[in-house]
Chain A
Amino acid sequence: MSKRNLETLVGLFVLLGLAALVFVALKAANLTSFSGGATYALTARFDNIGGLKSRAPVRSAGVVVGRVTSISLDPKTFQGVVHLEVQRSFEFPKDTSAKILTAGLLGDQYIGLEPGGDEKNLVAGDAIKQTQSAVVLENLISQFLFNKAADASSGDAAKKP
Protein backbone atom coordinates (compact mmCIF):
# COMPACT_ATOMS: atom_id res chain seq x y z
CA MET A 1 0.00 0.00 0.00
CA SER A 2 1.39 3.39 -0.92
CA LYS A 3 2.21 5.96 1.73
CA ARG A 4 -0.50 8.31 0.48
CA ASN A 5 -3.23 5.66 0.71
CA LEU A 6 -2.21 4.75 4.23
CA GLU A 7 -2.35 8.37 5.36
CA THR A 8 -5.79 8.80 3.80
CA LEU A 9 -7.17 5.72 5.50
CA VAL A 10 -5.84 6.75 8.91
CA GLY A 11 -7.20 10.27 8.34
CA LEU A 12 -10.61 8.77 7.59
CA PHE A 13 -10.47 6.72 10.79
CA VAL A 14 -9.61 9.78 12.90
CA LEU A 15 -12.34 11.87 11.25
CA LEU A 16 -14.88 9.10 11.81
CA GLY A 17 -13.96 8.99 15.50
CA LEU A 18 -14.26 12.74 15.89
CA ALA A 19 -17.59 12.69 14.04
CA ALA A 20 -18.82 10.10 16.54
CA LEU A 21 -17.74 12.34 19.41
CA VAL A 22 -19.58 15.31 17.90
CA PHE A 23 -22.65 13.14 17.31
CA VAL A 24 -22.71 11.92 20.91
CA ALA A 25 -22.10 15.40 22.30
CA LEU A 26 -24.68 17.20 20.17
CA LYS A 27 -27.40 14.68 19.44
CA ALA A 28 -27.27 12.41 22.47
CA ALA A 29 -26.12 14.79 25.23
CA ASN A 30 -26.91 18.28 26.39
CA LEU A 31 -24.33 20.42 24.60
CA THR A 32 -26.99 22.13 22.47
CA SER A 33 -29.85 22.35 24.93
CA PHE A 34 -27.88 24.75 27.07
CA SER A 35 -25.46 26.47 24.79
CA GLY A 36 -23.30 27.99 27.50
CA GLY A 37 -25.30 31.23 27.49
CA ALA A 38 -24.88 33.65 30.37
CA THR A 39 -26.82 32.68 33.48
CA TYR A 40 -27.58 34.19 36.86
CA ALA A 41 -27.82 32.42 40.20
CA LEU A 42 -30.92 32.22 42.40
CA THR A 43 -31.69 30.29 45.54
CA ALA A 44 -34.92 28.84 46.83
CA ARG A 45 -35.66 27.19 50.18
CA PHE A 46 -37.98 24.24 50.41
CA ASP A 47 -39.26 22.35 53.46
CA ASN A 48 -38.89 19.16 51.48
CA ILE A 49 -37.21 18.75 48.13
CA GLY A 50 -38.45 15.20 47.54
CA GLY A 51 -36.35 13.51 44.88
CA LEU A 52 -34.97 16.65 43.26
CA LYS A 53 -31.41 16.21 41.99
CA SER A 54 -28.79 18.66 40.89
CA ARG A 55 -28.89 19.33 37.13
CA ALA A 56 -32.69 18.96 37.15
CA PRO A 57 -34.32 21.42 34.76
CA VAL A 58 -35.97 24.67 35.86
CA ARG A 59 -39.06 25.34 33.80
CA SER A 60 -41.45 28.18 33.42
CA ALA A 61 -44.69 27.41 31.63
CA GLY A 62 -43.05 24.12 30.70
CA VAL A 63 -40.12 25.74 28.90
CA VAL A 64 -36.64 24.95 30.21
CA VAL A 65 -35.10 28.23 31.42
CA GLY A 66 -32.32 26.94 33.65
CA ARG A 67 -30.92 24.16 35.80
CA VAL A 68 -30.44 23.23 39.45
CA THR A 69 -26.74 23.65 40.21
CA SER A 70 -26.54 22.28 43.74
CA ILE A 71 -28.63 21.32 46.74
CA SER A 72 -27.67 21.71 50.40
CA LEU A 73 -29.29 21.65 53.82
CA ASP A 74 -29.51 24.81 55.93
CA PRO A 75 -28.17 23.67 59.34
CA LYS A 76 -30.29 26.23 61.25
CA THR A 77 -33.73 26.03 59.68
CA PHE A 78 -33.33 22.45 58.37
CA GLN A 79 -34.68 23.50 55.02
CA GLY A 80 -33.32 22.31 51.70
CA VAL A 81 -31.52 25.12 49.90
CA VAL A 82 -31.67 24.73 46.13
CA HIS A 83 -29.28 26.79 44.01
CA LEU A 84 -30.52 27.52 40.52
CA GLU A 85 -29.00 29.06 37.45
CA VAL A 86 -31.39 30.75 35.07
CA GLN A 87 -30.55 31.99 31.60
CA ARG A 88 -29.93 35.71 31.56
CA SER A 89 -32.38 36.25 28.73
CA PHE A 90 -35.25 35.31 31.06
CA GLU A 91 -36.04 37.72 33.89
CA PHE A 92 -38.67 36.98 36.49
CA PRO A 93 -40.58 39.35 38.82
CA LYS A 94 -39.55 39.53 42.49
CA ASP A 95 -42.64 37.69 43.71
CA THR A 96 -42.15 34.67 41.46
CA SER A 97 -42.97 31.41 43.20
CA ALA A 98 -41.11 28.11 42.84
CA LYS A 99 -42.68 24.66 43.04
CA ILE A 100 -41.16 21.21 42.87
CA LEU A 101 -43.12 19.31 40.27
CA THR A 102 -42.93 15.86 38.75
CA ALA A 103 -42.81 15.12 35.05
CA GLY A 104 -45.44 12.48 34.46
CA LEU A 105 -46.59 10.13 37.20
CA LEU A 106 -43.20 8.68 38.11
CA GLY A 107 -40.90 10.92 36.11
CA ASP A 108 -38.03 13.12 37.18
CA GLN A 109 -38.68 16.08 39.42
CA TYR A 110 -38.08 19.62 38.24
CA ILE A 111 -38.61 23.14 39.49
CA GLY A 112 -41.49 25.12 38.06
CA LEU A 113 -41.33 28.92 38.25
CA GLU A 114 -44.59 30.84 38.28
CA PRO A 115 -44.04 34.53 37.60
CA GLY A 116 -45.85 37.01 39.86
CA GLY A 117 -46.86 40.58 39.15
CA ASP A 118 -44.10 42.61 40.77
CA GLU A 119 -42.58 45.36 38.68
CA LYS A 120 -39.06 44.70 39.93
CA ASN A 121 -37.22 41.66 38.66
CA LEU A 122 -35.14 39.07 40.47
CA VAL A 123 -31.40 39.73 40.20
CA ALA A 124 -28.39 37.47 40.65
CA GLY A 125 -28.09 36.13 44.20
CA ASP A 126 -31.74 36.72 45.12
CA ALA A 127 -33.78 34.14 46.99
CA ILE A 128 -37.20 33.09 45.79
CA LYS A 129 -39.54 33.75 48.75
CA GLN A 130 -42.62 31.74 47.90
CA THR A 131 -41.93 28.06 47.52
CA GLN A 132 -43.98 24.91 47.50
CA SER A 133 -42.38 21.63 48.54
CA ALA A 134 -42.40 18.39 46.68
CA VAL A 135 -45.39 16.16 47.21
CA VAL A 136 -44.34 13.08 49.16
CA LEU A 137 -46.59 10.17 48.40
CA GLU A 138 -46.40 8.67 51.92
CA ASN A 139 -47.48 11.96 53.51
CA LEU A 140 -50.33 12.26 51.06
CA ILE A 141 -51.56 8.74 51.85
CA SER A 142 -51.25 9.13 55.62
CA GLN A 143 -53.13 12.43 55.42
CA PHE A 144 -55.85 10.75 53.43
CA LEU A 145 -56.14 7.86 55.90
CA PHE A 146 -56.12 10.24 58.85
CA ASN A 147 -58.95 12.27 57.35
CA LYS A 148 -60.94 9.10 56.65
CA ALA A 149 -60.47 7.95 60.24
CA ALA A 150 -61.48 11.36 61.56
CA ASP A 151 -64.58 11.34 59.36
CA ALA A 152 -65.51 7.84 60.53
CA SER A 153 -65.12 8.62 64.24
CA SER A 154 -67.04 11.91 63.98
CA GLY A 155 -69.75 10.00 62.12
CA ASP A 156 -69.97 7.52 65.04
CA ALA A 157 -70.07 10.36 67.53
CA ALA A 158 -72.95 11.97 65.65
CA LYS A 159 -74.99 8.74 65.67
CA LYS A 160 -74.66 7.88 69.37
CA PRO A 161 -76.76 10.52 71.13
Chain B
Amino acid sequence: MNWLASIGARALNVLAAWGRAAIFFIDLLAALPAGLRRPMLVIEQMHAIGNRSLLIILASGMAVGFVLALQLYNTLITFGAAESLGLVVNLSLVRELGPVVTALLFAGRAGTSLTAEIGLMKAGEQIAALELMALDPRQRVLAPRFIAGMLSMPLLAILFSAIGILGAWLVAVGLIGIDAGNFWSIQQNAVDVWRDVGNGVVKSAVFGVICTAVALYQGYETEATPEGVAYATTRTVVVSSLAVLGMDFLLTALMFSAPS
Protein backbone atom coordinates (compact mmCIF):
# COMPACT_ATOMS: atom_id res chain seq x y z
CA MET B 1 0.00 0.00 0.00
CA ASN B 2 3.05 2.24 0.37
CA TRP B 3 3.41 2.82 -3.33
CA LEU B 4 -0.25 3.86 -3.56
CA ALA B 5 0.28 6.40 -0.80
CA SER B 6 3.40 7.76 -2.53
CA ILE B 7 1.50 8.24 -5.79
CA GLY B 8 -1.25 10.05 -3.90
CA ALA B 9 1.25 12.24 -2.07
CA ARG B 10 2.96 13.17 -5.33
CA ALA B 11 -0.30 14.05 -7.02
CA LEU B 12 -1.35 16.17 -4.07
CA ASN B 13 2.03 17.92 -4.06
CA VAL B 14 1.74 18.76 -7.74
CA LEU B 15 -1.79 20.02 -7.26
CA ALA B 16 -0.76 22.13 -4.27
CA ALA B 17 2.16 23.63 -6.23
CA TRP B 18 -0.18 24.61 -9.07
CA GLY B 19 -2.59 26.13 -6.59
CA ARG B 20 0.18 28.09 -4.86
CA ALA B 21 1.42 29.34 -8.25
CA ALA B 22 -2.08 30.44 -9.28
CA ILE B 23 -2.70 32.25 -5.99
CA PHE B 24 0.74 33.85 -6.25
CA PHE B 25 -0.02 35.07 -9.76
CA ILE B 26 -3.36 36.55 -8.70
CA ASP B 27 -1.70 38.27 -5.72
CA LEU B 28 0.95 39.63 -8.10
CA LEU B 29 -1.72 41.08 -10.40
CA ALA B 30 -3.49 42.61 -7.42
CA ALA B 31 -0.23 44.26 -6.33
CA LEU B 32 0.33 45.86 -9.77
CA PRO B 33 -1.40 49.20 -9.05
CA ALA B 34 0.68 49.59 -5.89
CA GLY B 35 3.81 48.93 -7.97
CA LEU B 36 2.82 51.62 -10.45
CA ARG B 37 2.63 54.12 -7.62
CA ARG B 38 6.38 53.66 -7.04
CA PRO B 39 7.82 54.58 -10.48
CA MET B 40 11.36 55.02 -9.13
CA LEU B 41 11.47 51.38 -8.04
CA VAL B 42 10.21 50.32 -11.48
CA ILE B 43 12.89 52.42 -13.19
CA GLU B 44 15.60 50.85 -11.03
CA GLN B 45 14.35 47.40 -12.00
CA MET B 46 14.08 48.36 -15.68
CA HIS B 47 17.75 49.23 -15.49
CA ALA B 48 18.63 45.93 -13.84
CA ILE B 49 16.42 43.82 -16.13
CA GLY B 50 16.34 45.74 -19.41
CA ASN B 51 19.50 47.80 -19.77
CA ARG B 52 21.78 45.10 -18.44
CA SER B 53 20.29 42.50 -20.83
CA LEU B 54 20.81 44.78 -23.80
CA LEU B 55 24.32 43.66 -24.68
CA ILE B 56 23.59 39.93 -24.78
CA ILE B 57 20.34 40.47 -26.70
CA LEU B 58 21.97 42.69 -29.32
CA ALA B 59 24.98 40.39 -29.70
CA SER B 60 22.80 37.29 -30.07
CA GLY B 61 20.41 39.03 -32.47
CA MET B 62 23.28 40.10 -34.67
CA ALA B 63 24.78 36.61 -34.65
CA VAL B 64 21.44 34.95 -35.43
CA GLY B 65 20.90 37.38 -38.32
CA PHE B 66 24.35 36.67 -39.74
CA VAL B 67 24.01 32.91 -39.53
CA LEU B 68 20.43 32.78 -40.85
CA ALA B 69 21.44 34.83 -43.88
CA LEU B 70 24.46 32.67 -44.63
CA GLN B 71 22.61 29.37 -44.18
CA LEU B 72 19.38 30.28 -45.96
CA TYR B 73 21.29 31.69 -48.91
CA ASN B 74 22.74 28.24 -49.65
CA THR B 75 19.26 26.72 -49.85
CA LEU B 76 17.49 29.60 -51.55
CA ILE B 77 20.09 29.92 -54.31
CA THR B 78 19.31 26.37 -55.49
CA PHE B 79 15.75 27.53 -56.22
CA GLY B 80 16.94 30.77 -57.76
CA ALA B 81 15.17 32.64 -54.99
CA ALA B 82 18.15 34.30 -53.31
CA GLU B 83 16.42 37.67 -53.56
CA SER B 84 13.81 36.62 -51.00
CA LEU B 85 16.52 35.97 -48.41
CA GLY B 86 15.56 39.15 -46.56
CA LEU B 87 11.93 38.11 -46.44
CA VAL B 88 12.65 34.66 -44.99
CA VAL B 89 15.00 36.08 -42.36
CA ASN B 90 12.54 38.84 -41.53
CA LEU B 91 9.54 36.56 -41.08
CA SER B 92 11.41 33.95 -39.06
CA LEU B 93 12.84 36.64 -36.77
CA VAL B 94 9.73 38.76 -36.33
CA ARG B 95 7.30 35.88 -35.91
CA GLU B 96 9.30 33.24 -34.04
CA LEU B 97 12.98 33.65 -33.29
CA GLY B 98 12.79 37.20 -31.98
CA PRO B 99 10.24 36.54 -29.22
CA VAL B 100 11.34 32.96 -28.41
CA VAL B 101 15.13 33.34 -28.35
CA THR B 102 14.82 36.63 -26.49
CA ALA B 103 12.57 34.96 -23.92
CA LEU B 104 15.05 32.10 -23.45
CA LEU B 105 17.93 34.56 -23.05
CA PHE B 106 15.77 36.72 -20.80
CA ALA B 107 15.04 33.74 -18.54
CA GLY B 108 18.76 33.01 -18.35
CA ARG B 109 19.98 36.56 -17.94
CA ALA B 110 17.26 38.40 -16.00
CA GLY B 111 15.07 35.61 -14.61
CA THR B 112 17.89 33.90 -12.73
CA SER B 113 19.07 37.13 -11.16
CA LEU B 114 15.51 37.93 -10.05
CA THR B 115 15.13 34.48 -8.47
CA ALA B 116 18.50 34.62 -6.77
CA GLU B 117 17.90 38.14 -5.48
CA ILE B 118 14.50 37.39 -4.01
CA GLY B 119 15.61 33.98 -2.76
CA LEU B 120 18.53 35.58 -0.90
CA MET B 121 16.24 38.30 0.44
CA LYS B 122 14.10 35.52 1.82
CA ALA B 123 17.12 33.62 3.17
CA GLY B 124 18.34 36.83 4.82
CA GLU B 125 14.87 37.32 6.29
CA GLN B 126 14.52 40.69 4.60
CA ILE B 127 11.07 39.71 3.32
CA ALA B 128 10.02 38.82 6.85
CA ALA B 129 11.47 42.15 8.04
CA LEU B 130 9.34 44.05 5.50
CA GLU B 131 6.27 42.21 6.71
CA LEU B 132 7.16 43.11 10.31
CA MET B 133 7.29 46.78 9.27
CA ALA B 134 3.76 46.34 7.87
CA LEU B 135 5.03 46.75 4.30
CA ASP B 136 3.59 44.27 1.84
CA PRO B 137 6.62 42.62 0.18
CA ARG B 138 4.49 41.86 -2.87
CA GLN B 139 3.85 45.55 -3.46
CA ARG B 140 7.31 46.70 -2.46
CA VAL B 141 9.54 43.95 -3.90
CA LEU B 142 7.63 41.86 -6.42
CA ALA B 143 5.35 44.33 -8.24
CA PRO B 144 8.09 46.73 -9.47
CA ARG B 145 10.11 43.77 -10.78
CA PHE B 146 7.06 42.28 -12.47
CA ILE B 147 6.18 45.56 -14.21
CA ALA B 148 9.78 46.11 -15.28
CA GLY B 149 9.96 42.59 -16.73
CA MET B 150 6.68 42.99 -18.61
CA LEU B 151 7.84 46.28 -20.13
CA SER B 152 11.39 45.20 -20.93
CA MET B 153 10.68 41.92 -22.68
CA PRO B 154 8.76 43.27 -25.75
CA LEU B 155 11.35 46.03 -26.17
CA LEU B 156 14.19 43.52 -26.04
CA ALA B 157 12.42 41.18 -28.47
CA ILE B 158 11.81 43.85 -31.10
CA LEU B 159 15.41 45.02 -30.70
CA PHE B 160 16.53 41.43 -31.27
CA SER B 161 14.48 41.22 -34.48
CA ALA B 162 15.63 44.61 -35.74
CA ILE B 163 19.31 43.95 -35.14
CA GLY B 164 18.91 40.48 -36.66
CA ILE B 165 17.42 41.93 -39.84
CA LEU B 166 20.24 44.47 -39.95
CA GLY B 167 22.75 41.65 -39.50
CA ALA B 168 21.16 39.71 -42.34
CA TRP B 169 21.29 42.87 -44.45
CA LEU B 170 25.01 43.24 -43.73
CA VAL B 171 25.69 39.66 -44.84
CA ALA B 172 23.25 39.61 -47.77
CA VAL B 173 24.14 42.96 -49.28
CA GLY B 174 27.72 43.39 -48.10
CA LEU B 175 29.06 39.86 -48.29
CA ILE B 176 26.87 37.92 -50.73
CA GLY B 177 25.99 40.82 -53.00
CA ILE B 178 22.19 40.66 -53.12
CA ASP B 179 20.67 43.88 -54.42
CA ALA B 180 19.79 46.14 -51.49
CA GLY B 181 16.65 47.50 -53.14
CA ASN B 182 15.24 44.02 -53.68
CA PHE B 183 16.24 42.97 -50.18
CA TRP B 184 14.00 45.63 -48.64
CA SER B 185 11.20 45.85 -51.20
CA ILE B 186 10.40 42.11 -51.11
CA GLN B 187 10.07 42.36 -47.33
CA GLN B 188 7.85 45.41 -47.57
CA ASN B 189 5.58 43.63 -50.02
CA ALA B 190 5.08 40.54 -47.93
CA VAL B 191 5.44 41.43 -44.24
CA ASP B 192 2.29 42.79 -42.65
CA VAL B 193 2.63 45.24 -39.77
CA TRP B 194 -0.33 43.93 -37.80
CA ARG B 195 -0.34 40.25 -38.67
CA ASP B 196 3.40 39.60 -38.47
CA VAL B 197 5.05 42.36 -36.45
CA GLY B 198 2.02 42.93 -34.21
CA ASN B 199 1.60 39.26 -33.38
CA GLY B 200 5.32 39.02 -32.65
CA VAL B 201 5.02 41.86 -30.16
CA VAL B 202 1.98 40.19 -28.53
CA LYS B 203 3.95 36.97 -28.24
CA SER B 204 6.91 38.69 -26.62
CA ALA B 205 4.60 40.46 -24.14
CA VAL B 206 3.09 37.10 -23.13
CA PHE B 207 6.56 35.59 -22.76
CA GLY B 208 7.60 38.57 -20.64
CA VAL B 209 4.73 37.90 -18.23
CA ILE B 210 5.56 34.17 -18.11
CA CYS B 211 9.31 34.56 -17.57
CA THR B 212 9.02 37.28 -14.93
CA ALA B 213 6.19 35.59 -13.02
CA VAL B 214 8.03 32.24 -12.97
CA ALA B 215 11.26 33.87 -11.79
CA LEU B 216 9.49 35.79 -9.02
CA TYR B 217 7.51 32.73 -7.92
CA GLN B 218 10.59 30.53 -7.74
CA GLY B 219 12.42 33.16 -5.73
CA TYR B 220 9.51 33.77 -3.39
CA GLU B 221 8.83 30.07 -2.78
CA THR B 222 12.44 29.07 -2.39
CA GLU B 223 13.74 27.16 0.58
CA ALA B 224 15.75 29.68 2.60
CA THR B 225 19.09 27.87 2.28
CA PRO B 226 22.01 28.19 -0.15
CA GLU B 227 21.01 24.89 -1.81
CA GLY B 228 17.40 26.04 -1.97
CA VAL B 229 18.36 29.24 -3.80
CA ALA B 230 20.61 27.34 -6.21
CA TYR B 231 17.83 24.85 -6.90
CA ALA B 232 15.25 27.62 -7.41
CA THR B 233 17.53 29.42 -9.87
CA THR B 234 17.94 26.28 -11.95
CA ARG B 235 14.21 25.67 -11.88
CA THR B 236 13.54 29.22 -13.08
CA VAL B 237 15.44 28.56 -16.28
CA VAL B 238 13.92 25.11 -16.84
CA VAL B 239 10.32 26.05 -16.09
CA SER B 240 10.30 29.35 -17.98
CA SER B 241 12.02 27.85 -21.03
CA LEU B 242 9.53 24.98 -21.22
CA ALA B 243 6.59 27.30 -20.58
CA VAL B 244 7.78 29.69 -23.29
CA LEU B 245 8.23 26.91 -25.84
CA GLY B 246 4.83 25.38 -25.07
CA MET B 247 3.09 28.72 -25.09
CA ASP B 248 4.82 29.61 -28.36
CA PHE B 249 3.30 26.57 -30.04
CA LEU B 250 -0.16 27.50 -28.77
CA LEU B 251 0.15 31.15 -29.81
CA THR B 252 1.54 30.25 -33.24
CA ALA B 253 -1.34 27.83 -33.80
CA LEU B 254 -3.81 30.54 -32.81
CA MET B 255 -2.20 33.39 -34.74
CA PHE B 256 -0.81 31.95 -37.93
CA SER B 257 -2.68 28.74 -38.71
CA ALA B 258 -5.78 30.48 -40.09
CA PRO B 259 -5.90 29.81 -43.85
CA SER B 260 -5.11 32.97 -45.74
Contact = CB atoms under 8 A, between A and B. Distances in A.
Interface of B: 40, 43-44, 46-47, 50-51, 54, 79-81, 86, 90, 94, 151-152, 154-156, 158-159, 161-163, 165, 184, 187-193, 196-197, 201, 260
Interface in A21-80: 21, 23-25, 27-33, 53-55, 57, 64
Interface of A: 3, 6-7, 9-10, 12-14, 16-18, 20-21, 23-25, 27-33, 53-55, 57, 64, 105-106, 108
Contacts of B50: 10, 13-14
Contacts of A33: 188-189
A23 B191 contact: no
A115 to B, nearest CB: 23
Nearest to A108: B190
A18 B163 CA distance: 13
Contact of A24 (B81, B152, B197): B197
A29 B46 contact: no
Contacts of A6: 43-44, 47
B162 A23 contact: yes
A72 to B, nearest CB: 11
| Nearest 8 A/B pairs, CB to CB | A17-B155, A20-B162, A29-B191, A20-B159, A10-B46, A20-B158, A31-B193, A29-B193
B255 to A, nearest CB: 15
A105 B44 contact: no
B254 to A, nearest CB: 18
A28 B159 contact: no
18 contacts: A3-B40, A6-B43, A9-B47, A10-B43, A13-B155, A17-B154, A17-B158, A21-B158, A21-B197, A24-B161, A24-B165, A25-B197, A28-B191, A29-B90, A30-B188, A53-B260, A57-B189, A64-B189
